[in-house]
Amino acid sequence: MKKNVVQDVIPGKKSIRNVKLQSSRSIEREEKTNLYTAKKEPAPVMEEDFSRPVAIKQAPMRIEPITPSGGSSFGGTPLDTKPSVSSSYKYEYNEPKKTGKKWLYFSVGLLVLAIAFGVSAMFKSANIKISPKKEAREISETFVAKKDAVTGLAFQTVTVSKDVEKTVKGTGEEKVEKKSQGRIVIYNNYNNQPQKLVATTRFQTPEGLIFRLVSPVTVPGRTVSGSTTVPGSVEVLVEADKPGVSYNIGLKDFTIPGFKGDPKYTTVYARSKTEMTGGFSGMQKIVSKEVLAQAETEMKAELESMLIKDIEAQIPANFISYKEGLSYTLDPITQVPNTGKEDVVLRKRGKTSAVIFDRGALTKIILGKLMPEVESETVKITNLADLGFKIDNVNTDLDKQVSFTLSGNANFVWVFDQNKLENDLLGLNKKSAKSVIANYPGISEAWIETKPFWNQNIPKDLNKVTIINTAE
């Protein structure tokens, strides 16, 4: 039986002739209907901070005219032609809520200011610069001071001793007989009358060694200060009675044999200030006159320089001394025993005494002559040490009184109670503080600086207040 090929592929009952074809108009109408009746999609949800452009799918569409594309057609109608639809975008921007952000910035700003205010309040401080009243007066006056006076101007003396050594070359040998020397302090506790002692007065050690006074001296009498009796004293140079090394001794106590059997034997006595040195008897290296003269000059300058440094270290802070008020006592050069050696050791010993005054007492007596209307407690002289000082009579017995002249320009500066001023100003504003400062007659001007810049009050904490005196 002959097979029907067409029927094997396509069912016989469904012939292409039985297929109802749509016209091009119906196709176009159907597509338009599908496009306009498409299911509406929900609009995108926009967040508050969304600021990018958003595609709006339901925006109006523009349908382009149908243009044949050269494709296949059926009955003159293109089958693959579709309406051209262009996408439309709507650019929308969600404006920030300006009111909300302004409040945020304002709140943050307030918080920062509050923190800054709190922190800066912890560092409040005040610097107060005070310029006291000043005045200069020329002075050329003579004054008299008495030793340890209770009334009027008093003075005291400070004494120091020192020795220096120098090694030089010897120029030969000779037999030498030298006596030991040293310094002692003689005390007079017998009565308030001075005790005179002549040169060669004997002083004896407990071992029986005799030393003699080199120069005459007057030992001041004892004084009474309250319930305390202070013996008079003076420092002197003594020399061994005989040459030899046996008189080279250390510190000792001395009695005066001439007072034996008299009450003065126990009340007028002496004690070593220095060791006794230089005693020698035998062959010794000698030094030429030229070498000795040069050594004398060098050792004298060195000794005086050392004495000045030592005596300045002994002067109390509230006392003052003048270089012109120093007196020196320098002993001759002695040769240290040095048997059998080529080098010779030379020694020179000396002492210096300084007249010292209490600064406040000296200022008071100067003020009494130049500005008697001003109380001494409210004024000080800032250049007291720069005034010219001259002892009028160098032969004056410094154990009793001294007459001297001061000259130059004295700079007077008024003083004020700084501690009281600090406490008076605590917690005040600048205006009130200036009114308080005006009540201090010794203050000429004042400057107040408070920190931080917006703070106009002086802190209540004393540790945060600094007063600067421009005169210091």
Exposed / middle / buried, residue 308 (Cβ in 10 Å: 0-12, 13-18, 19+):
middle
Q: Which residues of the chain have pLDDT under 70?
A: 1-100, 116-122, 338-341, 394-399
Taking only the tens place, the pLDDT of each residue in 299-323 is 999 999 999 999 999 999 999 999 9
The per-residue pLDDT for 77 is 47
Sketch the domain layout of the chain as residue ranges.
173-281
The per-residue pLDDT for 151 is 82
The per-residue pLDDT for 305 is 93
The per-residue pLDDT for 458 is 93
Residue 153 near residue 365 (C-beta atoms within 8 A): yes
Beta strands in 25-147 (DSSP E): 54-55, 73-74, 77-78, 89-90, 125-132, 134-147
> For the residues of 386-450, what is the DSSP string, one character each?
GSEEEES-TTS-TTTEEEEEEEEEEEEEE---HHHHHHHHTT-BHHHHHHHHTT-TTEEEEEEEE
Q: In whole angstroms, give the CA distance from residue 160 to residue 183.
A: 11
Residue with tokens 């059997």: 261
- The secondary structure of the chain in percent helix, strand, coil, rounded to multiples of 5, reads 25, 40, 35
- CATH says 173-281 is which class? mainly beta
Q: In whole angstroms, give the CA distance from residue 425 to residue 398.
A: 50
The per-residue pLDDT for 22 is 53
Taking only the tens place, the pLDDT of each residue in 154-164 is 999 898 889 89
Which of 165, 164, 155, 186 is closest to 310 using CA atoms?
164
Q: In whole angstroms, give the CA distance from residue 405 to residue 407.
A: 7
The per-residue pLDDT for 338 is 66
How many residues belong to the chain?
A: 472
